[in-house]
Amino acid sequence: MATIKAPFNFVPLSEKVFFPDWADQISQDIPFSDGLSGTIELKITAESPIFVRNGYNREDKEAKNADYKSFSKTPDGKYFIPGTSIKGAIRNVLEIMSFGKMSKVADNRYSIRDLQLKEYMSYFQNTDIHCGWMTKNRDVVTITDNGIPRRISHSLIDEKLSTDFCQKFSDKDFLKKDSNRSSLCKYKLAHGKQLSYRFSDVPLNPKNVVDKRIKVKFDINGTEGTIVFTGQPSFRKAAVKNADGTIRQKASGKFYEFVFLEESGREFTLNCEEENGVYMDFCFVYKDSEEWKFWKRKLENGERIPVFFSLKDNTLVHFGLSYLYKLPYIKRIKDYLSDEHKKNQLDLSDCIFGTVDKKSSLKGRVQFSNAFCVKGKPCSEMMNPYMGSPQPTYYPIYLKQNGSDGIMQKDNKGILFSTMLKENAELRGWKRYPIQENWQESFNIPENQDNNTNPFYPMEKGAEFACKLRFFNLKEIELGALLNSVSLNEGYYHSIGFAKPFGYGKISISIENIHPSHNIDIQEYKQIFVAFMSEEVDNYQRSEQLKELKCMMRPQNLTVPLEYMELGEFVEHKKQHFKEGRNQTFGQYQQNYSVLIKKQVQQPITKVAISTAKVSVWQGQFKQAKLTEGKDLTNKTLIVNDKKAKLKIGDLIEVKVVKKGGNVEKLEYIRKK
């Protein structure tokens, strides 16, 4: 059984996208002849502690001060949920329910650096990686082409520079600390040392025709060059030799650094401001890199910095800070969507909520007010979780895979992972955090990650907020879609705000009032939308999209927990060794949420309410009554435990209405009215 896990999952994208045929008729000035307008009063109840962060600036975040930890509030101390947060939660539900397009996707080009992945390693083994120096002048960067980088051994570096690379990087304990594996550590160890010398090539080893690396040694009669340090992914392990000098066990780990010869030929210029350009892609890929922060300061100060790059048709296509650099994917995120999801047309959520893009814009016809707290207060105890989410490049979770039951195999044969290095890779869909039954109050902080926690004071469970939803000029189908997205069935919940991976943010939304109320029947309009979508989409109510969405909107008993994996688990689940006798491992991928639910008999939800009924049958032990209001006005069994009760047909009585699974099961007599 697959054990890969995450506190989130995905609602699959629909092959068909619904585009309303009235989209081009929407106007703020000329309403539809059948347009509906009004105001809906909403009550939002926190079914778990919830947290929506207060407005803060960069200094607040770095200091993690009171403003950063506080629930959103006005200057005079009134707590509220911003209308934009409510709108975002509702809009995502409506996008899925209405088979909308996934248009709100950042148009970034992600990258991958995975030494276990054959496709990644194959690229660098079959491509001539060049080296050069990058400089910046205002909005232009220049990269020199210094040819193929040379290699120089740690032993020669130690001998020349009086460093101890051989010892340091053979020490497992030294490399346990992440920062000691970075290039910055090596530059610190060589601080104050001269790095520019003359070098000459060392003849290739005729006994090792596979090794194409060009190695060099120090030589005063050689070519000028500069030693360039890169990271140390693993510790050095020297070769084990037999008595006759033959190798019994090969060396492993990194034994060499790079040398950039000063013989440069052509230069490449890149526009720093070009949107989706090579330089902007590089900055996006390395934005969180401590090494890039180090080199960027030098670049901005007019110094040159070392880079590695690839050419295609004599054009620089991408570059990085190490020989095995972060390899950009073939396409941008949006390009992995199907053509249906890339159409320049308005879907139903665009029509209702509005949209803004480079080519056009449409003002929304729905507005959510801020939801002010009318009951409850923030918790007195501070929560301080560490958010260890996998990057969107973690393909076992973010991309569709073709295995069986969460394992990358079929018919006992291994299947390679699909990654974005493949043209036909597919995104899994809408990312959502499933509703959880409980929430965490204590958190495990990984070693050396204390500075990367996110402290906050959540609003307590049971807190209530009041909000107004104003709609203008909506068609019946649009209002039905909105009502379906806001008002969920009993036992289903929305999620909002921060720390959803830990069970926070679970809310229920109830409709308290509608103005005008005389022509708005909630159930009727909800059904109009469902009936319309059932005409547009085959098996709409049994569709995979609605199935997964509904499963995630209520607590479930799962085969794997909703929690982040440890770092070692991320690595382990990507491993693939198909050869027999070599500890076969196929790799794991995340399955759809509904598959992870333990099979069990669902007990119908019992709900009790107080209402008025009229006695309809009174014959000995057989008693029935009808509710005087509501959707179900048929005869129901009447339970009368009061032996002194004297009733007759037609009497009005107060009763408890017992519902199971949404249906009235029986009525229990309270008193005569």
Pairing of strands 315-320, 305-312: antiparallel
The more confidently predicted of residues 347 and 644 is 347
Determine the Cα–Cα distance for residues 353 and 361; give it in Å rounded to an integer.
Answer: 11
Determine the Cα–Cα distance for residues 378 and 456; give it in Å rounded to an integer.
Answer: 10
Backbone dihedral angles phi then psi of residue 616, each to the nearest 5 degrees? -120, -25
- pLDDT in the model for residue 519: 75
Task: Give the right CATH number for 606-672 from 3.10.310.30, 3.30.70.330, 2.40.50.140, 3.40.50.300.
Answer: 2.40.50.140
In this model, does residue 451 exceed pLDDT 80?
Answer: no
Average the pLDDT over each of 62-71, 324-333, 401-410, 491-500 and give the range with the smallest value. 62-71
Determine the Cα–Cα distance for residues 264 and 225; give it in Å rounded to an integer.
Answer: 11
* Cβ–Cβ < 8 Å for 153, 169: no
The more confidently predicted of residues 103 and 495 is 495
* Cβ–Cβ < 8 Å for 260, 132: yes
Q: What is the pTM of this model?
A: 0.82
Pairing of strands 606-619, 130-137: unpaired
Average pLDDT over residues 474-490: 96
pLDDT tens string 384-405:
998 877 888 899 999 999 999 9
pLDDT tens string 333-374:
999 999 999 999 999 999 999 998 767 789 999 999 999 999
Average pLDDT over residues 515-542: 91
467 burial level (CB within 10 Å; 0-12, 13-18, 19+): buried
- Candidates 398, 540, 573; CA nearest to 96 is 540
Start-to-end CA span in the chain (Å): 60
The pLDDT confidence band at residue 251, using thresholds 50, 70 and 90, is low
pLDDT tens string 29-60:
888 988 999 999 999 999 999 999 987 777 77
State the virtual CA torsion across 45, 50, 51, 52 in degrees, nearest 10. Answer: -30
Give the rounded percent of residues in the chain with a pLDDT score beyond 70.
95
pLDDT tens string 270-312:
999 998 899 999 999 999 899 999 999 999 999 999 999 999 9
* Cβ–Cβ < 8 Å for 514, 38: yes
Determine the Cα–Cα distance for residues 87 and 487; give it in Å rounded to an integer.
Answer: 13
Determine the Cα–Cα distance for residues 647 and 625; give it in Å rounded to an integer.
Answer: 11
The pLDDT confidence band at residue 210, using thresholds 50, 70 and 90, is low
CB atoms within 10 A of CB 372: 15
* Cβ–Cβ < 8 Å for 607, 490: yes
The two tokens of residue 464 are: 């209530």
Query: What are the extents of the domains in the chain?
Result: 9-108+335-596, 148-263, 606-672
CA distances from 103 to 4, 95, 145, 355 (A): 28, 10, 39, 10
The pLDDT confidence band at residue 647, using thresholds 50, 70 and 90, is confident
Determine the Cα–Cα distance for residues 605 and 597; give it in Å rounded to an integer.
Answer: 18
Name the average pLDDT for the chain: 90
Distance of CA 660 to the CA centre of its chain: 36
